[in-house]
Amino acid sequence: MIRPSLLAILLLAGCSQPEAAPDADPGRARRRVADCDRGLAHADCDAARARLAEARRRERMAAYAETMRESGS
């Protein structure tokens, strides 16, 4: 019983999509999302949207940190 379950877990883990790279190129993600929105691409659209959201979050945090440094707080 344990072996079939273990085999199923390994197969599912091997077939899943890779995690989005945290330092992926935001421009490439923007182009991929635009292609997805136009219907030109269907693969990895969710991963591209996740990378784009993470890149935007990092940009906001960097702008916030810069503002805090400039204000002296």
Question: Regarding predicted confidence, which is higher, 24 or 52?
Answer: 52
> Rounded to two decimals, what is the model's pTM?
0.58
Distance of CA 69 to the CA centre of its chain: 28
What's the pLDDT tens digit per position in 11-49?
A: 666 665 555 555 567 888 889 999 999 999 888 899 999
| Cα distances (Å, whole numbers) of residue 71 to 6, 51, 65, 66, 67 | 55, 30, 10, 9, 6
